[in-house]
């Protein structure tokens, strides 16, 4: 597994945030695919079957919760670890994400690209 490239799917509609995380992950050796709305996120996840998915909540077309639900209902994507990323940390949002099957719920303001990159190894072990 160590010499295999880890595929990451970033589903994020904010170009600045997307680019910031993408650059760091690629520098750290991950292969990064992106989607800029919920529908594209579901399509890319199904098509690519990435090792891990980072998912924003506020997205055009389908929000992160709808995307997560769709991924969990599809047996091809049900087991992929999904880490939710949001600007909003309200307890009900966090609880909802975790209840729908997210591995983790991160607040963007508290999540640097480095911490995201460093967490991948841990999340993939879970």
Greatest alpha-carbon pair distance for the chain in Å reads 39
**For residue 30, how many C-alpha atoms fall within 13 Å in the half-sphere facing its CB?**
27
Judge whether 11 and 38 are in contact, CB under 8 Å. Answer: yes
pLDDT at 1: 42
pLDDT at 89: 79
46 within a domain of the structure (yes/no): yes
Q: What is the 8-class DSSP label of residue 66?
A: H
115 within a domain of the structure (yes/no): yes
* Domains of the chain: total: 1
Record the tokens describing residue 104, joined without a space: 């983790």
55 within a domain of the structure (yes/no): yes
Please, what is the Cα angle at 18 between 79 and 6, to 5 degrees?
40
Tens digit of pLDDT at every position of the chain (126 positions): 445 899 999 999 999 999 999 999 999 999 999 999 999 999 999 999 999 999 999 999 999 999 999 999 999 999 999 999 998 878 999 999 999 999 999 998 888 899 999 999 888 987
125 within a domain of the structure (yes/no): no
Measured on CA atoms in the order 35, 55, 37, 114, is the torsion positive or negative? negative
1 within a domain of the structure (yes/no): no
Q: Which domain holds residue 62?
A: 7-119
126 within a domain of the structure (yes/no): no
Residues for the chain: how many in total?
126
**Rounded Cα gap, residues 74 and 69, in angstroms:** 9
Task: Provide the CATH number for the domain around residue 85.
Answer: 3.40.50.2300
pLDDT at 69: 97
**10 Å Cβ neighbour count for 22?**
19
104 within a domain of the structure (yes/no): yes
């Amino acid at each position: 597994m160590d010499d295999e490239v880890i595929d990451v799917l970033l589903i994020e509609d904010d170009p600045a945030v997307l680019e910031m995380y993408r650059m760091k992950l690629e520098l750290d050796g991950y292969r990064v695919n992106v989607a800029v709305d919920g529908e594209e996120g579901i399509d890319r996840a199904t098509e690519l079957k990435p090792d891990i998915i980072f998912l924003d909540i506020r997205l055009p077309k389908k929000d992160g919760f709808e995307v997560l639900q769709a991924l969990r209902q599809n047996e091809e994507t049900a087991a992929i670890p999904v880490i939710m990323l949001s600007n909003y940390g309200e307890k009900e949002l966090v609880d909802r994400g975790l209840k729908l099957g997210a591995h983790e719920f991160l607040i963007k303001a508290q999540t640097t690209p480095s911490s995201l990159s460093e967490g991948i190894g841990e999340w993939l072990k879970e």
